[in-house]
Structures are given as C-alpha cells and as structure tokens.
Amino acid sequence: MLSAIRFLTAGAIMFAAAKLLKMSLAITSKQLFNCIISGSLLVVYGQGVFIWALQYVETGFAALEAAVDPLLVMLIIHSIDRKPLPAKSAAGAALGTLGVVFLASEEAMLFGEESWIHILILFSCILSWSTGSVFAARAELPKNYFVSAAYQMTSSGILLLAGGFAIGEKWVPPADWSSDTLIAIAFLSLLGSVLAFTAFNHLLRNVSTMKVATASYVNPVVALVLGWQFLNEQVTTQTVTAGAALLTGVYLINSQERVDQASLRNGSNGSTGAPAEQSGQ
C-alpha cells in the first residue's frame, strides 16, 4: 500500500509536469503494454515486493544482495545474444555468486532458517529488476523517457494498490501517518521515483544496460552505513568480506564491459555486449 501511494504520487507529479511542459502524452497500445510489462518487472515486483521483504531482512544485507544486479544483467544479455562469457566476466560472476552465498549464510545464521525464504524472495526481486532493465532498454516505449517513466509509475502504482487489497493489507489513510512516514514518502516520491527513475529510463536509452546496472556499486555502502548508524544493524567481518567479494566481481564485469566497448569503437569483432545497447540505441 505504501509503495502504491509512493508510485501513484510520483506518476501524478510526472503527468502534471509533462502536461505543464507541453510534452505529448500520446501512446500506442503496444507502447502502453510494454510500459505495463516494464513497470511490473521493475517497480511492482522488483521494488514493491523487495520493500515488503525488508520487513524481515536487514536493509544493509538487502542492499548488498541487490549489488548482484550487474551480474544478472550480464548473464541475461549474454544469454539473449548467445555470446560466450569472457574469462574476466566469468570470474566476476563467480566472485559475485560467492559473495551472495556468504551473505545468505550469515543472514540465515543470524536470523534463523526462515531467513532463507526472504533471501530467495529478495533474489527473485533483483532478477525481476535485471530482466526489466534489459527489457526496457530493448522494448518499444514512448520516445520521451519522462513520459515513459510516468506511464510505468502510474500503471505500477495501480497494480500495487490492487495487490495490497488482494493480500489483505490494512489501509491506513495518509492523514493518520506519522510525520516521519510522510517525509519518507515525499523523499522517495520526488527523489527516488520522479528524479531517479526518470534518469534510469534516460540512461537505459543512451548507454549500455550493463553500465546502468553498476549504479548498484553505491547502494550497499550507503545502506550499510545508514543501517548501522540509525537502525543498529550489525556489520560483521563476514558481511564486509562477502560485500568485498561481490563488489570485486561486479568491478571485473564492468571493466570487461569497458574493454568490449573500446573494441567496438575500434572496429573489433570481439564485443560481447548487445549491439543495440552498445550503440546507445
């Protein structure tokens, strides 16, 4: 319910801004369908279910697990394009997987066997986000990325609202929310959705999906520090070791991506990325 309100608020703001700026809101049935699919993968499941799972898993751990996104994006792209993995990318994938296993084992030890269920749910959310990223980069969406994001946000908010009622979530009117909740929702709606998701859509259309996915570098560090500082979450040696392995894996993949793009610019046939993405579409 909270996520639904956040994304519906963001969608309303974006449509109002688009109308004020005289942007065309015209959309074909195919583009609308693709916006709903993209929004479902990225926002409804990738973020909505992820937020739900944060009731049972620490934020720092969740952010570290989310850093596996670039690895999944790489594997999805190589699978679609049927390209073999370069050695550096394969090593990065192995390190990243090892890091997630370390994180998952510690989470299970700290919070019991049921943590595995929530860890798997989080992983499925990350997989959904990664799949949605690749889909959004390749699908036919409105050319204006701001308008495209508005349609994705609004359709996702409607689906999340329906999902909240379907699973029996208790409705609490915004007038009854605490001031902290109102501030958090305003922050997430304006910066996390309107600004960040619009930038995300813009980047997906102008740089490779792999490069966009490396934004996951930053989230774990911020979340670990904030979780430790404000929520008294534990930061253990195993957490730091697992995070280092995971991020090193992502770094190896990203460095291989730079090599591939340099080869493409130099006219080499050794590129492993998706042609549409490498050219910036």
Q: What mean pLDDT is predicted for residues 74-79?
A: 84
Q: Which residue has the higher pLDDT, 110 or 237?
A: 237
Max mean pLDDT among 88-92, 221-225, 266-270, 271-275 falls in 88-92
DSSP letters for 111-145: H-TTHHHHHHHHHHHHHHHHHHHHHHHHS---SSH
- pLDDT over 90 at 268, yes or no: no
How far is the C-alpha of 142 from the C-alpha of 159, rounded, in Å? 20
Split into its structural domains, the chain has a count of: 1
Exposure string for 247-264, b = 16+ CB within 10 A, e = fewer? bbbbbbbbebbebbbebb
Report the pLDDT value the prediction gives residue 160, as an integer from 0 to 100. 95
Question: Given the structure tokens 């919070």, which residue do they identify?
Answer: 111
Say whether pLDDT at 88 is over 70. yes
CA distance 171 to 95: 43
- Please, what sign has the CA dihedral across residues 133, 135, 137, 141? negative
The Cα–Cα gap between 265 and 281 comes to 15
Q: Residue 198 sits in which domain range?
A: 2-278
Q: What is the pTM of this model?
A: 0.75
- Most confident stretch, 76-85, 160-169, 224-233: 160-169
Measured between alpha carbons, how far is 201 from 204 in angstroms, rounded to an integer? 5
pLDDT confidence band for 112 (50 / 70 / 90): low
More confident residue, 90 or 142: 142
Res 273 pLDDT > 70:
no
Q: How confident is the model at residue 270 (pLDDT cuts 50, 70, 90)?
A: very low
Contact 44, 160 (CB under 8 A): yes
Dihedral, CA of residue 182, residue 203, residue 213 and residue 86, to nearest 10: 180
Mean pLDDT of 60-71: 76
